[in-house]
Structure 1
Amino acid sequence: MKRSTALATSAAMAAAIALVAAGCSSTSAGSSSDGSSSNPVTLTFWGSYGNGGNSTQQDALNKTLIPAFEKANPGIKVDYVDIPYDSLLQKLTTSAAGGTLPDLVRSDIGWVPQLGQLGVLTPLSDSMSDFGTLSKATYPGSLSTNKYNGKYYGLPLDTNTRVLITSQKALAAAGMSTPPATFDDLKQMAAKLKGTGMSVFADGGLGGWNIYPWIWSNGGSITNSSLTKATGYLNGDKSVAAIQMLVDLYKEGQIPNLITGNQGATSTSDGLPTGKYATILDGPWMKGIWGGQYKDFQPIYAPVPHGDGPSTSVVGGEDIVLTASSKHQTAAEKFIRFTQSESFQIDMAKTGQMTVIPAYASKQAAIDPYYTMYADQLKTAKARLAIPQGAKVDSILNTALTPAFTGSTSVKDALTTAAQQIDPLLTGK
C-alpha cells in the first residue's frame, strides 16, 4: 500500500497468526513444476491491485502484463485474484493454516517478516540461482524489506517514499526562494512564519513512517546494524536531537497537534494546498489526490531536510513472495523474474506504481517527470524494522513520544522508554 503502515494488530489477526504457527509444521515443500508445454500449470497470484476501486493497475495486470507473460510462457497460466487490502493478510494467515495458499502473493513490505517467521514462504535467496543478480538491480532500501533472519523471502515489486512538499505560497510567506534543505533552514522558515497563521510543518503521527526520516537525516539510527538492539541507538544523541527539533517546533506552535493524534486537526492533504501548513512529508500518490480536490494547487517537491546526516527517507511499497506450499515453484519463479523486467515495471509505472529498479527511473520520468524527486530520494531511503512485530514498534513509538510533545517527559526519556520496549521484539525474548 501507499504507506505500508496498516500492519495487522487486531485480536482477530493475532489469533489467525497463532493458528498458522500451530499448523505450519505440516506445510510441505512445493514441487518444481516448470510449466513446460508437456506439463502445463496454472499459478494463483493474490494481491490488492484493485484496492479502493482503482481498476487501472488491475487492468494493466490482467489485460496487458499477464497475457504477455503467458504468450512468452505457453505452458503457464496466471490466475490473479484481487483481495481487499484490509483483508489480505488475515486471508493469507488463515489460508496457510488450512493449506490453501496461492503460489504467489503481492505482499505489503511489512508482512514479509511475519510470513517468513511462520515458515510459509520460500526464501528466494536460496531457491533462485539468479537472485543475486536480480536483487542487486533493485533499490537497496526496497530490497531490505524482504530480509528476515538472514534470508531474503521476496523481491521488491513496487515502491514509494516520502519527500518534502511545499508551495510557492509558503515560500513567499517565509521570504524563501527554495524549499528548506537543512534542519536550520526549516527552523529559520518557522521563525519567518510566526504570526502568519501558517505552521511550518505538519504530519499525522509519530510512528516509524513519520519520525525515521528525521532521525536518519540527522545521522541517527534506530537499531544497531545487526537489528538486535535499539537501546543506545534510538535514544542516541543524534536521534534525540532530531526529535527534539520537532518537539521544539511543536511547542512554538509551528507543528499542529495532528502529529499527536488530534483527529479534529486539518489533514496534511488539505492543510498544505489551503495554506495552513508550509511543508509536509508525503508520497507520490498525493498528485492524484490533489489533482481531484485542488486542481489549481502546484506543489513543490524537495528532498527531506537534513541535519548532521544525508537526506534520508523511508521506504514503502509491496514485495512479491513465493509460498512454500506452491506445487509450481519453478514456474512461479519465472513470473517473479517477469515482474522485475522493464516491460512489467514500466507498464505499472504508467498506472502510478513506482519502479523498484533504478535503471528504469529515466523511463519512469519520461512517463511523468513528477517521479524524479521520489526516485532520487529512494537512492538513500531506508526500510523500517523488518521484524514480525513491526506494527508493535509503531505503537510503542506513538505511545512513548506523545508525552514528549505534550511536555510531560523529555525526548531522551521518551526514546529510552521506547528503545527498552523495542529491544525484546528484536531478540524475540
Structure 2
Amino acid sequence: MRPTKTLSWLALGGVALALSACGGGGQEPTTDADGNTVIKYWHAYSADSPELKTLEDEVIPAFEKAHPGIKVESVPYPYDELHKKLLTATAGGTLPCLVRSDIIWVPELAQLGTLAPLSEEMDDFDKIAANTYDGPLATTEYDGKHYGLPLDTNTRVLMYNQATLDEAGMDEPPATFDDMRKLAEGLKGTGDFAFADNDTAGWNLLPWIWSAGGEMTDEGMTKASGHLNSPESVAGVQLLVDMYKMGEIPDLITGAQGGTETAVGLPKGDYATMLDGPWMFPIFEDQSPDFALKTAPMPAGDGGSISVVGGEDVVMTDSCPSKDEAMQFIEYLLGDDAQKAMAETGQMPVLSSLGSELTDIKPYYDTFAKQLQTARPRLPHPEYPKIEEILRTEVQKAFTGDTTVQEALDSAAQQIDPILAG
C-alpha cells in the first residue's frame, strides 16, 4: 500500500485480548450447491477499480478453470475497515481463508496467532519465495517464520521536473545528498522548492535515514537508542531539516497547509523533486497530461541509495478449514499469469524473474524494479504504528524549530525502547 494512517490500536485493545483465547481451526469447510470448495478471499480493492475488475473477471475465473472443484469468493472491504474486521473476525471465529493484507499488519496478526506460517505449511514456499524481491519477502517474516508471501509491491523513487532543475543549473536529477544540497542552493530565492513531501512518518523518513547509513533499531528490534539517534540517522534527517530551514521544502512536510500538494506542485514546477510510488503515473497522466514525469533512484548518502518497501502480502488464516485449496490459489496469485494480469492495472508484481516483461507492460516500472533491489521494509514489529507515531511527532519538532534533530531522535529512541523491550 501507499503510506498508511496510524490506526487506533488502543480502541481495539479489548478485541486483541480476546484473540489470545482463540485457537485455530474449528470452522467447517464451505461448499457451494455443486459441492465445490469455496475459498473466501478478503481484500481492499476499491469498487469499480481496474484491480478489482481484473481480479474478478480474469484472475479468479482462470484459476477456477484450471482447478475444478475450487471456487474463490472475492470479498472487498474499505481499507481502514479491513484491519478492524480482521481483528473482530478472529475473536468471533469468522475469518476467511485468505487475506490480501497490508504489509504492516502481518507482524501484528502473526503475533496474535491469526495466521498460518506459510513457510511451514506450503510445500513450494521456498521455490516461490526465491522468485520474489528480497525487500517485499522480508515483510512476511515474524519470529523466524514467514506468515505470507508478497503479493504486490512498490517503493518510492525520486520524481522530478527537469525544467525546475534547469533553474538550479542542474542537467541531471540529484544522485546524492550533496546534489540535493546543491539543488537547494541553486533554487534559493526563486520561489520554487527543491523537494516536497507530506509527512515525517517512517514511510517518508526511512529512505533518508537508511541512505545516510542509519538504522531505526538494532537487528533484533530490541533497542532504538544508539541506532535511531546515531550520527548516521541524524545526518539523514538533518539534510531535510536544513533544506526546510532554507525555505526549500514546503510546509507540507509538517502537516501545515503551506504549498500545493505534490501531485499539483511537481508538474507546475513549484517543486523540483519528490519521492513517490508507481501509482503517481496514472494520476499525472489524468491530471497533467502535458507533463513528462521523470524518475531516478533515491539520492545516495554514505549508506547508498535505499528506499522503503510498500505493498501487500497474501496471508492464510490458521483457522482456514481448506488450507490445501487456499494454498493452490496463493500459488496461482504468485504465478506469471496472475502477476502480469494485475500488472496491467498498475499493481506492481513481486516476481524478480519477470525482467524486461515487466517494463513491456509498464515502461515506468523500470526505475522501481531497480530500486527494489535495495529497498527495505518498515520495522516488522507488531507495534509499528505506535513506534511510527512517536517518530513522526518528535521529528516534526525539529522541523518547527522546537528542538534539534539530535534531541528529537534522542527523545524518540527513549520512548521506543520500552515498546521494543515490552
Using the size of structure 1 for normalisation, the TM-score is 0.94
Alpha-carbon displacement from aligned partner over 1:27-48 (angstroms, at most 9, x marks no partner): 233789799xx97411000001
State the partner residue of 1:27.
23
Once the two structures are superposed, the pairs formed by residues 148-227 of structure 1 within 5 Å of their partners are: 148-227=142-221
Matches of 1:30 and 1:76, distance apart in 2: 20
State the partner residue of 2:381.
387
State the partner residue of 1:328.
322
Work out whether residues 106 and 318 of structure 1, in 8 Å CA contact, stay in contact via their aligned partners in 2: yes
State the partner residue of 2:344.
350
**1:114 Cα offset (Å):** 1.3
Once the two structures are superposed, the pairs formed by residues 172-321 of structure 1 within 5 Å of their partners are: 172-321=166-315
Matches of 1:93 and 1:261, distance apart in 2: 30
Work out whether residues 34 and 329 of structure 1, in 8 Å CA contact, stay in contact via their aligned partners in 2: no
2:399 pairs, out of 394, 398, 405, with 405
Alpha-carbon displacement from aligned partner over 1:310-363 (angstroms, at most 9, x marks no partner): 101000000000011110011111111111100011000000000111111421
Alpha-carbon displacement from aligned partner over 1:230-269 (angstroms, at most 9, x marks no partner): 1111111111111111111111111112111103432111
Alpha-carbon displacement from aligned partner over 1:115-141 (angstroms, at most 9, x marks no partner): 111111101112112222221211111
Matches of 2:386 and 2:50, distance apart in 1: 33
RMSD of the alignment, in Å? 1.8
Aligned length: 420
State the partner residue of 2:5.
6
Matches of 1:126 and 1:148, distance apart in 2: 13
**1:143 Cα offset (Å):** 0.9
Q: 1:31 to 1:82 in 2, by over 3 A?
A: closer
AA paired with 2:286? Answer: G
1:116 pairs, out of 96, 110, 115, with 110
**1:23 Cα offset (Å):** 3.8
Work out whether residues 30 and 39 of structure 2, in 8 Å CA contact, stay in contact via their aligned partners in 1: no
Using the size of structure 2 for normalisation, the TM-score is 0.96
State the partner residue of 2:82.
88
Aligned sequence identity (%):
50
AA paired with 2:412? Answer: A
Work out whether residues 60 and 347 of structure 1, in 8 Å CA contact, stay in contact via their aligned partners in 2: yes
Matches of 1:235 and 1:141, distance apart in 2: 24
Matches of 2:412 and 2:243, distance apart in 1: 21
Matches of 2:18 and 2:30, distance apart in 1: 31
SS in structure 2 at match of 1:92: helix
2:144 corresponds to 1:145: no
Q: 1:88 to 1:34 in 2, by over 3 A?
A: closer
2:40 corresponds to 1:44: yes
**1:164 Cα offset (Å):** 0.5
Q: 1:20 to 1:41 in 2, by over 3 A?
A: farther
Matches of 1:65 and 1:310, distance apart in 2: 38
**1:208 Cα offset (Å):** 0.4
**1:219 Cα offset (Å):** 1.3
More displaced, 115-124 or 128-137?
128-137
**5+ long unaligned stretches in structure 1:** none
State the partner residue of 1:362.
356
Matches of 1:136 and 1:29, distance apart in 2: 29
SS in structure 2 at match of 1:419: helix
State the partner residue of 1:18.
14
Matches of 1:417 and 1:229, distance apart in 2: 13
Work out whether residues 20 and 96 of structure 1, in 8 Å CA contact, stay in contact via their aligned partners in 2: no
SS in structure 2 at match of 1:235: coil
AA paired with 1:281? Answer: L
SS in structure 1 at match of 2:196: coil
More displaced, 95-104 or 405-414?
405-414
Alpha-carbon displacement from aligned partner over 1:82-104 (angstroms, at most 9, x marks no partner): 11112111111111111101010
**1:24 Cα offset (Å):** 3.8
